[in-house]
Amino acid sequence: MPSDFSEILKRRRSVRAFTNDPIDRATIELLCHAARRAPSGANLQPGKFHVLTGAPLAALSSRLEQANADATPVALEYSYFPDMMSADLKDRQRKAGYALYKALGIARRDTAARRAQFAKNYRFFDAPVGIIVTIDRDMGKGCFMDLGMAIMTFLLAAEAAGLGATGVGAIANYGGIVHDHLKLPADELVVCGIAVGKPDRQAAVNQFRTERLPLADFTSFQGFD
């Protein structure tokens, strides 16, 4: 594995605190071009990126924050997590959450602080650029895989460009609100958001790492010496 690519993989993390530095359109266009180079079955190239900054991003964030503050019922249009999460998956989820809150100095029983941190999802963690990722409703489940590869390519390209980024799955909780606010075509389904900007490298939230499974836990090999 080339050392430069290996380093990009090692550096990449979900960035949840950003500087106020603006990101120009040309830079985001380069990242979007990179995303579109991801593998795609039958070259269908599913998914669209709706990129916002400045006043349009602030307006969408405000509407999402208000929905969250009003406890508007979540209305996911697709299943993100398993309906019944197994014990080992639940354990991974909890460990990731505990690591995040520990880095922020939030106690496990401090529900108010945890909710406040979660609410930052709806303002794209104050990133200067927010992206709404959509997919055509008629696409098959496999196309979500292709879209995921495009998103990962975008995240790696952002890291290579010296930027920080994170996927924001919580945006899909209010996909209908996003759809209405952006006046998206009826055939587009809101999948997630992406926050992009220059990372605040001093922020505690950007210091922690989630654990990854050891090789033996997710691979098997046959026919090798």
Residue 180 near residue 190 (C-beta atoms within 8 A): no
Task: Give the rounded percent of residues in the chain with a pLDDT score beyond 90.
Answer: 89
- 192 to each of 24, 73, 151, how far by Cα in Å? 22, 17, 10
- 112 to each of 101, 106, 107, 116, how far by Cα in Å? 12, 10, 10, 6
Joined together, the tokens standing for residue 136 give 């055509």
Query: How does the average pLDDT of the chain come out, rounded?
Result: 95
Distance CA 176, CA 190 (A): 8
**What are the pLDDT digits (tens) for 84-142?**
999 999 999 999 998 999 999 999 889 999 999 999 999 999 999 999 999 999 999 99
Q: Is residue 108 part of a domain?
A: yes
**Over 80: is that where the pLDDT of 2 sits?**
no
Tally the domains of the chain: 1
> Of 38-42, 75-79, 200-204, where does mean pLDDT reach its minimum?
75-79
**What are the pLDDT digits (tens) for 183-204?**
999 999 999 999 999 999 999 9
Q: Is residue 220 part of a domain?
A: no
Q: Do β-strands 164-168 and 188-197 pair in parallel, antiparallel, or remain unpaired?
A: antiparallel
The residue with tokens 């919580």 is: 170
- Region 151-161: what's the mean pLDDT? 97
* pLDDT band with cut points at 50, 70 and 90 for residue 1: low
Q: Is residue 128 part of a domain?
A: yes
Query: Which residues contact residue 140 at a Cβ distance below 8 angstroms, ignoring those fewer than 6 apart?
Result: none
Residue range of the domain that includes 171: 3-208
Q: Angle CA(131)–CA(132)–CA(135) in degrees, nearest 5?
A: 135
CATH of the domain at 145: 3.40.109.10
Q: Is residue 216 part of a domain?
A: no
